[in-house]
Structure 1
Amino acid sequence: MSGVLWVDGSFCAANEPVILAGNHGFTVGDGVFETLVVRKGRAFALTRHLVRLQFSLDRMGMRSVDMAAIREGVRQVIAANPADVVRVRITVVSGPGPMGSMRGTAAPNVVIWGGPGVVPTACRATRVPWKRNERSAIAGVKSTSYAENVVMAQFAAAKGADEALMSNTYGYLCEGTGSNIFIERRGEVVTPPLSSGCLAGITRGLVLEWGAGTGMPIRVAAPGELQMSVLDEVMRGEAFAAVTSSTRGVQPIVRLDGVDVAEGPLLKKLADLYELHADVETDPPPTRTRDAV
């Protein structure tokens, strides 16, 4: 492990043990996290990420943490090695606890890790046979209980892909393991609603806001509007697709289920628009309400 490590208010060596074996974040994945990219020496959209971090903590029923201290920790991590810290991960775990699922009474641990990061320039995706449970107790939570996504990502990697796309339990298009998905068809761009079980992605929200703000035909799909079969339209060239995430930005899907597919013109404009805005608005303020559809 390399990079800059900040734990509970202090810097630690990157290879220093910092979490006890009985920590619930390790034993049962009882924690939440956020991953941010660094633009021009600043953590991009940090305020929005902290708002979502608090949402995840609340949904998990975890104790609150000092968001101002986390903000300062992120600043210190970037400042410690600004040339090499291009990605920052904030992890909050519930702390030491007893064996089993019940939590202990210890204060949560906050780990901020900054370092290099490399992502592909285009997305090669594949559909997976598993589904996202939109009725899960942690639907929409950025949880460290990530084993489900790991299994799907490994399935994708075995097929030469770098992202796995899934439906929800109703068969509607949902999301990728680490990204949201946008579909361009019939002269507009649509993305699955949060009711599908997908994560309220920071980039997803910004793309919707910035795109609509410039008059682009972009919207959240109605519940049930996007069947998983819309990806067949992408493979036939009748529609186009892109994924969004903090690390990928707006990235076209250029290969789907082993077939090369074209990049959509509207999605290309959307990607350029996102980069233009992100270069200027390094910490766009959050909206008053979460996208609830």
Structure 2
Amino acid sequence: MSSLVNALTLSPMIWCNGNFLDDGSGLVELTDRGLLHGLGAFETILAVDGVVQHESRHRARLQDAVDRLGLPDLAELDLNHIVAKLCEHNHCVKGKARARVTLTAGHGAMDAITSSEDGKIFVQVQSYVPSADLPHLITLPWRRNEQSPLIGLKCASYAENLLALRYARSQGADEGLFFNTRDELCEAGMANVFLKIEGEIFTPPLASGCLPGVMRSAIIDVAREQGRVIHEAAITRAQLAMAEQVFVSSALRGIVPAQSLDQRLLSGQPFPVMIP
């Protein structure tokens, strides 16, 4: 009996549609369009000591997905309260934790871009220890479509990004960089990208097709407050080859300098803007 009690105590709690649950199995129906067609969205969020970081930025991006894909309403999603309780139950209230919010559309006709009554909102939390290693980058052989109707959304249909990550790792790298159909730098498979060229900082504009990253926008805002200019501009392959430094940014890791790009060693120096 004691082993059963311990197992239940240690099982990770999740939140789904207003309820805290000790077991999330079987909650997504086989008819859910999030499962069948990838009609869903998600956010990966950093919590520190149980406190959600950049909550308003994450919520705004989720709301954009709700509006464009017809996903469940966010009215019940008190993210700060939910993540704090999950961190406490899942033994990650101290230090860093990784929270994931997932939205699915529920059942419905294939051409219906509206949420049904059984659409789901899940929140999961687990402890998070970022890697201390600086990433090695390569350019990817595939292009991002900057005119896709999914641009700007962090969609549940994530296979393209996973294939990019697998390819990068098969080549001995950690992450890959996408160019778009105009042959302009877009983003990394799971991060935004910044460059330092002749002392100036550049990042691809949203028109490149890159995700409007939470950390990306925070970095640009902080740089502006500190009187630093970050140029949002189209970046060619020739300009990327000129970069003295390349950085990747994400909500979990912040902004990290790369060790190399296509086997060309980079300085690995920290980003020149102090991010609180």
> How would you bin the TM-score normalised by the shorter chain?
0.7 to 0.9
Q: Which whole-Å deviations, capped at 9, do the CAs of 1:192-211 have from their partners, x for residues lacking one?
A: 10000001111101111111
**1:260 Cα deviation (Å)?**
2.6
2:14 counterpart of 1:12: no
Query: What secondary structure sits across from 2:176 in the alignment?
Result: strand
2:247 counterpart of 1:247: no
Q: Which whole-Å deviations, capped at 9, do the CAs of 1:258-278 have from their partners, x for residues lacking one?
A: 3332124xx5332xx11xx2x
1:258 maps to 263
2:131 counterpart of 1:120: yes
Q: TM-score, normalised by structure 2?
A: 0.87
Distance in 2 between the 1:39 and 1:70 partners? 14
Q: How does 1:182-261 map to 2 (within 5 A)?
A: 182-221=194-233, 224=234, 226-234=235-243, 239-261=244-266
2:116 counterpart of 1:105: yes
Q: Which ranges in structure 2 are unaligned for 5 or more consecutive residues?
A: 1-9
Query: What secondary structure sits across from 1:47 in the alignment?
Result: helix
- Does structure 2 conserve the Cα–Cα contact (< 8 Å) formed by 1:208 and 1:219? no
The one of the two structures with greater contact order (alpha-carbon pairs below 8 A, sep at least 6) is 1
**1:212 Cα deviation (Å)?**
1.8
Count of residue pairs brought into register by the alignment: 263
Distance in 1 between the 2:148 and 2:236 partners? 20
Amino acid at match of 2:198: R
- Does structure 2 conserve the Cα–Cα contact (< 8 Å) formed by 1:42 and 1:78? no
Q: Which whole-Å deviations, capped at 9, do the CAs of 1:240-289 have from their partners, x for residues lacking one?
A: 1101100120100112223332124xx5332xx11xx2xxxxxxxxxxxx
Q: Which ranges in structure 1 are unaligned for 5 or more consecutive residues?
A: 278-293
Moved more, 126-135 or 68-77: 68-77
Q: TM-score, normalised by structure 1?
A: 0.82
Distance in 2 between the 1:15 and 1:66 partners? 21
- With over 3 angstroms needed to count, the CA separation of the structure-2 counterparts of 1:4 and 1:219, relative to structure 1, is farther
1:153 pairs with 165, 184, 193, which one? 165
Query: What secondary structure sits across from 2:271 in the alignment?
Result: helix
2:33 maps to 24
Query: What secondary structure sits across from 1:134 in the alignment?
Result: coil
- With over 3 angstroms needed to count, the CA separation of the structure-2 counterparts of 1:249 and 1:158, relative to structure 1, is same
Q: How does 1:3-82 map to 2 (within 5 A)?
A: 3-14=12-23, 16-66=25-75, 68-80=77-89, 81=91, 82=93
2:189 pairs with 170, 177, 181, which one? 177
- With over 3 angstroms needed to count, the CA separation of the structure-2 counterparts of 1:9 and 1:19, relative to structure 1, is same
Amino acid at match of 1:254: Q
Q: How does 1:274-285 map to 2 (within 5 A)?
A: 274=275, 277=276
1:135 maps to 147
- Does structure 2 conserve the Cα–Cα contact (< 8 Å) formed by 1:202 and 1:246? yes
**1:215 Cα deviation (Å)?**
1.6
- Does structure 1 conserve the Cα–Cα contact (< 8 Å) formed by 2:103 and 2:120? yes
Distance in 2 between the 1:229 and 1:4 partners? 49
**1:72 Cα deviation (Å)?**
3.2
Query: What secondary structure sits across from 2:215 in the alignment?
Result: helix
- With over 3 angstroms needed to count, the CA separation of the structure-2 counterparts of 1:202 and 1:246, relative to structure 1, is same
Amino acid at match of 1:117: Y
2:102 maps to 91
- Percent sequence identity is 29
- With over 3 angstroms needed to count, the CA separation of the structure-2 counterparts of 1:116 and 1:148, relative to structure 1, is same
**1:143 Cα deviation (Å)?**
0.8
- With over 3 angstroms needed to count, the CA separation of the structure-2 counterparts of 1:53 and 1:125, relative to structure 1, is same
- Does structure 2 conserve the Cα–Cα contact (< 8 Å) formed by 1:255 and 1:261? yes
- With over 3 angstroms needed to count, the CA separation of the structure-2 counterparts of 1:86 and 1:70, relative to structure 1, is closer
**1:83 Cα deviation (Å)?**
3.9
Query: What secondary structure sits across from 1:131 in the alignment?
Result: strand
Q: Which whole-Å deviations, capped at 9, do the CAs of 1:193-243 have from their partners, x for residues lacking one?
A: 00000011111011111112112232322xx3x113333223xxxx21101
- With over 3 angstroms needed to count, the CA separation of the structure-2 counterparts of 1:4 and 1:124, relative to structure 1, is farther
